A = this chain, B = another copy of it.
Amino acid sequence: MSLSNSTREKLQQVSTPTIATCLFKKGLKNQFIQEVKPLQLGKPTMVGEAYTLRYIPAREDRNPITVFRNADHPQRVAVENCPPGHVLVIDSRKEARAASAGDILVSRLMVRGVAGIVTDGGFRDSANIAKLAIPAYHNRPSAPTNLTLHEAIDINVPIGCGGVAVFPGDVLVGDDDGVMVIPAAIVDEVADECIEMTLFENFVLEQVLEGQPIIGLYPPTNENTLIDYEKWKMEQGK
C-alpha cells in the first residue's frame, strides 16, 4: 500500500509537532528523529515513504576508495533505486565524524525525483546541499568521505535512525523542527486528524494573538471556545 497523493498533500500542510501530538494520543511516543535538523531552514515540508540504507562501521581492508568502482555498492545502488517521491533514510549509527553522503549523490537523488534525504550522521558539501531544492536532514556537516567510518551494507531493511525505528514504507515528514516517522498502516488517519488539529491550532493562535488567555481555549474546555471555533471555520470557508 503506497502513500496516496491526497495523504501526501495533507501532510505537506501540517507540522511535525502536530503529528507528534497525534501519534502521542495513539500511544506512539518515540517517532521524532532526535539530533537531526534541516541543512536549510524554510524549505517546503518534506513528505515521502522511507527507503532505507543501513551503514555499519567501516573496516579498513574492506573500504579502500576503490570500492565505489563496484556497480553493486549498496550506497550507489540505493541512490539509483530509491523511488521518486520516497525519502532515503540512512542509519549512520548517530556517527557524524564522517559523511553519510555528499552533494553529487544528493543531486542525483533530487534529479531522480526523490522527496528528501535523512541521516543521523552528517553530510559533506553541506553548503551546496543546502542550496538544492531537495530537503536534507542531518546532525552536522562532516567533510570526511563516508568510507572513513561507514560501510553501506543493506538496502530497505528496518533500521534505527536518530533513535527511532524506521520501516520501509513508513512515511517521513520533515519541517524546520526536524523529522517525524509515521507508521505506514496509520498514515491516512494521521493525516486526516492532523489537518483537523492544524485548523484548530490556527484558530487558537489567532485567538491568542488577539489577547485570549490559554485556559479554556487550548484545550477548549470552555464551551464557548468550540462555538467560536465553529463560527471561525465557517468564516474561513472550512
Count A-side interface residues using an 8 Å CB cutoff.
87
Q: Does A127 contact B (CB under 8 A)?
A: yes
A65 CB contact (under 8 Å) in B24, B107, B141: B24
A76 CB contact (under 8 Å) in B76, B80, B141, B215: B215
Please give the distance in Å from A218's CB to the nearest CB on chain B: 6
Please give the distance in Å from A194's CB to the nearest CB on chain B: 12
Q: Are A30 and B57 in contact (CB under 8 A)?
A: yes
A126 to B102, CA, bound (A): 27
A221 to B65, CA, bound (A): 13
Q: Are A17 and B145 in contact (CB under 8 A)?
A: yes
**Interface SS majority for chain A:** mixed
Q: Are A178 and B27 in contact (CB under 8 A)?
A: no
Q: Does A100 contact B (CB under 8 A)?
A: no
Q: Does A237 contact B (CB under 8 A)?
A: no
Residues of A within 8 A of B (CB): 15-17, 19-21, 24-32, 34-35, 37, 41-42, 56-62, 65-66, 68-69, 71, 76, 79-80, 93, 95, 97, 99, 102-105, 107-108, 111, 124-127, 140-145, 147-148, 151, 153-154, 157-160, 163-165, 175-178, 180, 183, 201, 204-205, 208-209, 211, 213-216, 218-219, 221
